[in-house]
């Protein structure tokens, strides 16, 4: 298991405040612990790093640590460092209330600390988001959007929709799916609020507590707690350049099981599963009766040829195919869908109705307009071209700026470079250094249970010149850590 470490952001004590600096630091640390941002057992940075980050003397940090230790908040050990221990901190807090101890009692697990930090920092002004998995906002199709919205002005009502989502939209998605070789009826389609909701619906509706989900190692799924929060275990299966090594999935297993895969332009590795591997994987799963969740989030974003979805080979209703408008049109639309056997879709739709009464009707209408008018297809084709250019620019920039410091394979689609930093630099340190320089990274450890020396670099979000600037800063951060 990886060591959970506290991540320092660019917080600094306020020198103009009447409160002494050391007390401000105590408050800052206590608050992070109280709100659960820094969890019990987490390792604090070294005193030297804290002093540098807060821009104070080491002696100030020593005083802070002594005080926190006297409250029973932290414990120091010469070898292991200083750790957050126990929860006696609540005693010293005048703001202690009912929620202080109970706020995390629900079954859903807290997000990884690193991801919480990323989610917060993404909205800091001026930050360069070198890991963000969404298209550059400047690529948003404003004109098309305007046309779609105009149609919406003629709405007479905006009521709840049927359990599977708007019929016209499901018909349009069925037509769209045929172009990818998937034949289905509107009754086999459920509209969801993004594909993340589809994953949650599957976890709580189809899988028992003692079941197991297999997934690629590394995988986007490891960055979520949606499976584990439903009491289901997650087992990682390694990959090679052709995709998941499916024969490593045990042929026999007492528990019920399902496989989750992102065969096209995988998040985070960018790997696209070969046609042969898809076929072998499907046959293996059919033989051993292992259903497959095929997450097609990046399916549209191929640069050369469109891969055949596994769902298109599915003659025994084994595959649940997930789609989303998030990586192409807009994540804020919150529109996704599941294509699966009718009974599966009906079950998921029934649970969804109990959760939220359906995905936003406005979003469904807009997406319908995009599909029916052909604007969606046109925009996807524009995006493919744009992303391919950005990929080329990213590869050249990384090679020119970082040279031998890193290595990576060139993806044939999607948003990401799965970059290995050759030197033995801890990725959390690099994350902190880069953040201080105004660059937000996605360390590879988010996507795997093991420690990596990887970064998921996205070339989708930043404009080319911003990307170059961010990579130059990253280079400086690597250099400075190498010198330490």
Q: Please give the residue ranges that form the binding site for ligand PMP (CB under 6 A).
A: 133, 194-196, 220, 262, 267, 295, 297, 324, 326, 331, 336
Which residues are 322's β-sheet partners?
295, 338
Q: Read off the tokens for 188.
A: 């086999």
Whichever of 336 and 349 has its CB closer to ligand PMP, that residue is: 336
CA gap 441, 484 in Å, rounded: 20
Cα 462 to Cα 128, 139, 152, 383, 428: the distances in Å are 7, 11, 31, 14, 22
CA 449 to CA 337: how far, in whole Å?
28
Q: What is the DSSP code string of 212-234?
A: EEEEEES-GGGG--TTGGGT-EE
Least distance to ligand PMP, CB of residue 180, Å = 17
Q: Which residues pair with 456 in a beta bridge?
A: 418
- Which one, 194 or 349, has the nearer CB to ligand PMP? 194
Min dist CB 468 to ligand PMP, Å, is 24
Closest residue to ligand PMP, judged by C-beta, is 194
* Minimal distance, residue 433 CB to ligand PMP, in Å: 25
Would you say 82 and 43 are in contact if contact means Cβ atoms under 8 Å apart?
yes
Residue 307: DSSP 8-state: P
Where do we find the tokens 């994540």?
331
For ligand PMP, the closer CB: 218 or 336: 336
Sheet holding 416-421, edge to edge: 406-407, 416-421, 454-458
454-458 vs 416-421, strand pairing mode: antiparallel
Between 335 and 473, CB nearer to ligand PMP: 335
In the complex, minimum distance from the CB of residue 453 to ligand PMP, in angstroms, rounded to a whole number: 22
CB 294 within 8 A of CB 264: no
- Which residue, 136 or 295, is less far from ligand PMP as judged by CB? 295
Q: Are strands 74-77 and 406-407 parallel, antiparallel or unpaired?
A: unpaired
Give me the least distance between CB of 223 and ligand PMP, in Å please.
Answer: 8
Burial of 78 (0-12, 13-18, 19+ CB in 10 A): exposed
In sequence order, the 6+-apart residues with CB closer than 8 A to the CB of 100 are 34, 90, 93
On whether the CB atoms of residues 299 and 326 are closer than 8 A, the answer is: no
Considering the complex, what minimum distance in angstroms separates the CB of residue 195 from ligand PMP? 4
Shortest distance, position 251 Cβ to ligand PMP, whole Å:
27
> Minimum Å distance from CB 324 to ligand PMP?
3
Rounded to the nearest whole angstrom, what is the least distance from the CB of residue 94 to ligand PMP in the complex?
40
If the CB atoms of residues 22 and 220 are measured against ligand PMP, the closer one turns out to be: 220
Tokens 């509107």 found at: 186
What is the closest distance, in whole angstroms, from the C-beta atom of residue 134 to ligand PMP in the complex?
A: 8
* Residue nearer to ligand PMP on the CB measure, 82 or 236: 236
Nearer to ligand PMP, 64 or 213 (CB): 213
- Distance (Å, whole) CA 295 – CA 293: 6
- Closest to ligand PMP by CB, 89 vs 370, is 370
Backbone angles phi, psi at 470, to 5 degrees: -65, -40
The one-character DSSP state at 336 is E
- What is the Cα 146 distance to its own chain's centre? 29
**CB of residue 446 vs ligand PMP: minimum separation in angstroms?**
11
**Toward ligand PMP, which CB reaches closer, 322 or 402?**
322
Closer CB to ligand PMP, residue 133 or residue 165?
A: 133
């Amino acid at each position: 298991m990886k060591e959970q470490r506290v991540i320092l952001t660019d917080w600094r004590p306020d020198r103009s405040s009447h409160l002494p600096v050391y007390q401000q630091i105590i408050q800052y640390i206590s608050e992070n612990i109280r709100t659960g941002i820094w969890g019990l057992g987490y390792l604090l940075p070294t005193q030297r790093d804290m002093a540098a980050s807060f821009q104070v003397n080491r002696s100030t940090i020593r005083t802070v640590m002594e005080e926190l230790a006297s409250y029973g908040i932290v414990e120091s050990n010469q070898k292991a460092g200083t750790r957050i221990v126990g929860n006696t901190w609540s005693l010293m807090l005048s703001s202690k209330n009912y929620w202080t101890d109970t706020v995390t009692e629900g079954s859903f697990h807290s997000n990884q600390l690193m991801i919480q930090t990323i989610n917060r920092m993404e909205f800091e002004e001026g930050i360069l988001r070198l890991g963000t998995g969404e298209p550059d906002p400047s690529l948003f199709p404003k004109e098309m959007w305007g046309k779609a919205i105009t149609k919406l002005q003629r709405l007479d009502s905006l009521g709840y929709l049927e359990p599977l989502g708007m019929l016209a939209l499901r018909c349009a998605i069925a037509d769209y799916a045929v172009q990818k070789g998937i034949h289905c009826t509107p009754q086999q389609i459920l509209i969801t609020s993004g594909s993340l909701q589809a994953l949650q619906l599957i976890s709580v509706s189809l899988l028992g507590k003692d079941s197991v989900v297999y997934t690629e190692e590394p995988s986007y799924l490891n960055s979520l707690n949606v499976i584990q929060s439903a009491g289901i275990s997650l087992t990682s299966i390694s990959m090679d350049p052709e995709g998941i090594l499916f024969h490593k999935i045990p042929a026999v297993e007492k528990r019920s099981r399902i496989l989750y895969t992102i065969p096209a332009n995988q998040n985070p590795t960018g790997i696209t599963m070969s046609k042969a591997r898809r076929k072998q994987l499907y046959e293996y799963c059919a033989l051993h009766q292992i259903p497959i969740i095929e997450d097609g989030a990046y399916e549209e974003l191929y640069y050369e040829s469109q891969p055949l979805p596994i769902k298109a080979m599915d003659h025994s209703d084994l595959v649940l195919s997930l789609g989303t408008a998030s990586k192409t049109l807009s994540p804020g639309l919150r529109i996704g869908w599941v294509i699966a056997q009718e009974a599966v879709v009906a079950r998921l739709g029934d649970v969804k109705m109990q959760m939220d009464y359906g995905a936003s009707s406005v979003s469904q209408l807009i997406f319908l307009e995009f599909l029916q008018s052909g604007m969606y297809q046109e925009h996807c084709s524009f995006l493919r071209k744009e992303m391919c250019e950005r990929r080329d620019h990213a590869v050249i920039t990384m090679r020119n700026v970082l040279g031998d410091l890193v290595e990576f394979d060139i993806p044939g689609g999607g948003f990401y470079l799965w970059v290995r930093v050759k030197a033995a630099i801890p990725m959390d340190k690099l994350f902190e250094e880069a953040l201080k320089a105004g660059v937000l990274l996605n360390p590879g450890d988010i996507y795997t249970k093991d420690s990596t020396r990887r970064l998921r670099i996205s070339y989708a979000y930043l404009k080319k010149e911003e990307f170059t600037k961010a990579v130059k800063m990253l280079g400086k951060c690597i250099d400075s850590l190498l010198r330490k």
